[in-house]
Amino acid sequence: MNDEIQDHDNEIRPHSKRFGREIAMQFLFACEMKGEVAGAAAFDEFFETDASVFQLKEDRLARRAKEYATTLYQQVEIHRDEIDATIQAHCKNWDFERLSGVDRNLLRVAVAEMKYFDDVPMVVSIDEAVGIARDYSGPDSGNFINGMLNAIKDAQAKA
């Protein structure tokens, strides 16, 4: 799957859903680090800061990414207990709280997408999460995220 697009300036940019996943993970991570609840006002402020840091243009990509990120973080907040329980059930010999903040929130985003977004195949959610882990987390994170999410996918298929 190609998760990048080339715009009219020959600039390679991520697909809006990929970018939305990254934004949702970053926002949830920031809220967790600050001890804040993820809400609409906080998200708007976070997105505006993120947009200026990454020099985002006000265009269709940014709008779609923001919409997707909003839907993702809201689903994580609505279903946080269930999502966290799902992740914890697959953390064999590892304490959920010991996961890195990036990995924990990336897993939350991916599990939310796998459970509550019927239009996104689970394998796409897994592939995207692995790619994001490789960009944002430690060298072994991609393999860890892949193993966790595949176990969750297999468990959901059996349910």
Note the pLDDT tens digit of each residue in 16-70: 899 999 999 999 999 999 888 878 888 888 888 876 666 667 778 888 988 999 9
Helix (H) or strand (E) holding 6: strand 4-6
Map out the domains of the chain as residue ranges.
13-158
Interior angle at CA 111, CA 88 and CA 13, nearest 5: 135
Per-residue model confidence as pLDDT tens digits over 64-94: 988 999 999 999 999 999 999 999 999 887 7
Q: Classify domain 13-158 at the CATH class level.
A: mainly alpha
Give, in order, the Cα–Cα distances in Å from 140 to each of 62, 113, 136, 145.
30, 22, 11, 9
> Among candidates 142, 124, 125, which has minimal Cα distance to 133?
142
**Adjacent-strand bridge partners of 13:** 5
Q: How far apart are CA 149 and CA 40, in angstroms?
A: 28
